[in-house]
């Protein structure tokens, strides 16, 4: 294409990226829905609220092991890949890739600020703030990017461990772990920010590395992805389980609130990579209607992410009342939204080139009206 602002033809899309992004978009709702319906500490502390029955508690533990932070990690991998893909295509089309990408992500920062005004868990602002680092390092080797991303995760784990050692848990954990009415202390807040930012940036850098080594594109043999899945799950699952066991054996005490999160932090990258490999193996199979549905969700990831927040706040907070539902009931809401987004994304894209928010973002990026109807 000669015009960098033109819609990407279906033949030019990387189907594997759309598939992985679709799974990540739906997966991140399973994380965020807890925050839509339960008090802040319940997001980290399964024992705090929403776990009144054995089923609620089982759902919380399963989510902690398999989904918590891993879905965001998948989302982050894809965002990192999207940064370099956009910049590469802009350069191929004779545009200034860095300036255009910075402008595009400044707009994303604005979208994130609006989103954050309604819900504190926004991730778009973090992605936008990290984008200059990704642009700076986007042409580095896969090895360098993997090392840099792993270093970010290591800093997060070390920081959490050190913070646990120096704080008084009963007085400082506050609305992070113990009491939604009491603000966490500055050291705990800083540890949260370092963890949030470190994991996000780290996984984005790893995502750029996976894209540069042509792993995310899904073009390698199935045997490669099988080995990658076994390695990622073999390392990540024991670590993630160890974190839950640490908390459970200590009755979700504040004494291990931060240090108990460390195994989960270390599990984030291998599990996200393992999940990516599994999804890629599925994507390499002959295309079915379900492949098409997940890809459509991925192509409208920004719209679907924002709609999830809107529905979560309207239904779990507004309709049922904040803090009144258990985790099993919240899971029913999650499955309902999954069904809705799998159902509506493909018909929308059959009529339009982009999701509605993606189109508005694109118009603002190129500062001229873009085609939307097919």
How far is residue 44's CA from residue 258's CA, in Å, rounded to a whole number? Answer: 10
Neighbouring residues of 91: CB distance < 8 A, sequence distance ≥ 6: 97
pLDDT reported for residue 156: 96
Query: pTM to 2 decimals?
Result: 0.94
Contacts of residue 203, Cβ cutoff 8 Å, sequence gap at least 6: 72, 73, 76, 77, 80, 149, 153, 268, 269, 272
Q: What is the CB neighbour count within 10 angstroms for residue 53? A: 12
- 299-330 pLDDT, tens digit each: 999 999 999 999 999 999 988 888 899 999 99
DSSP letter for each residue of 68-99? TTHHHHHHHHHHHHHHHHHHHHHHHTTS-HHH
In this prediction, residue 322 carries a pLDDT of 87
Residues in the chain, pLDDT under 70 = 1-12
CA distance 80 to 72: 12
The separation between CA 284 and the C-alpha centre of its own chain, rounded to angstroms, equals 23
Distance from C-alpha of 321 to C-alpha of 308, rounded to nearest angstrom: 17
Q: What is the pLDDT of residue 140?
A: 92
DSSP-derived letter for residue 255 is: G
């Amino acid at each position: 294409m000669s015009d960098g602002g033109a819609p990407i033809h279906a033949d030019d899309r990387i189907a594997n990226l759309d598939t992985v992004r679709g799974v990540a978009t739906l997966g991140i709702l399973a994380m965020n829905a807890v925050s839509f319906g339960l008090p802040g500490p319940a997001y980290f502390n399964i024992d705090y609220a929403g776990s009144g029955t054995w089923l609620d508690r089982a759902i919380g533990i399963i989510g902690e092991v398999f989904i918590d932070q891993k879905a965001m990690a998948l989302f982050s991998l894809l965002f990192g890949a999207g940064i370099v893909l956009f910049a590469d295509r802009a350069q191929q089309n004779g545009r200034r890739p860095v300036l255009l990408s910075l402008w595009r992500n400044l707009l994303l920062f604005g979208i994130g600020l609006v989103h954050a005004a309604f819900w504190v868990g926004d991730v778009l602002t973090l992605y936008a703030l990290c984008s200059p680092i990704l642009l700076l390092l986007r042409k580095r080797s896969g090895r360098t990017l993997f090392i840099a991303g792993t270093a970010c995760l290591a800093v997060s784990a070390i920081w959490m461990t050190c913070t646990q050692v120096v704080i008084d848990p009963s007085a400082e954990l506050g609305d992070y772990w113990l009491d939604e009415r009491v603000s966490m202390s500055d050291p705990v807040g800083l540890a949260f920010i370092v963890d949030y930012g470190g994991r996000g940036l780290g996984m984005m850098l790893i995502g750029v590395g996976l894209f540069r080594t042509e792993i995310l594109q899904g073009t390698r043999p199935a045997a490669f992805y099988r080995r990658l899945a076994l390695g990622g799950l073999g390392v990540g699952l024991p670590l993630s389980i160890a974190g839950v066991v640490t908390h459970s054996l200590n009755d979700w005490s504040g004494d291990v609130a931060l240090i108990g999160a460390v195994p989960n932090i270390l599990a984030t990258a291998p599990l996200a990579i393992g999940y990516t490999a599994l999804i890629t193996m599925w994507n390499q199979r002959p295309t079915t209607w379900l492949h098409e549905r997940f890809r459509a969700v991925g192509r409208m990831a920004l719209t679907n992410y924002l709609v999830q927040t809107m529905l979560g706040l309207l239904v779990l907070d507004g309709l049922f009342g904040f803090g009144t539902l258990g985790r099993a009931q919240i899971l029913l809401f999650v499955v309902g939204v999954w069904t809705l987004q799998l159902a509506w994304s493909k018909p929308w894209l059959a009529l339009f080139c982009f999701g509605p928010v993606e189109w508005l973002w694109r118009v603002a990026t190129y500062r001229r009206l873009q085609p939307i109807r097919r």
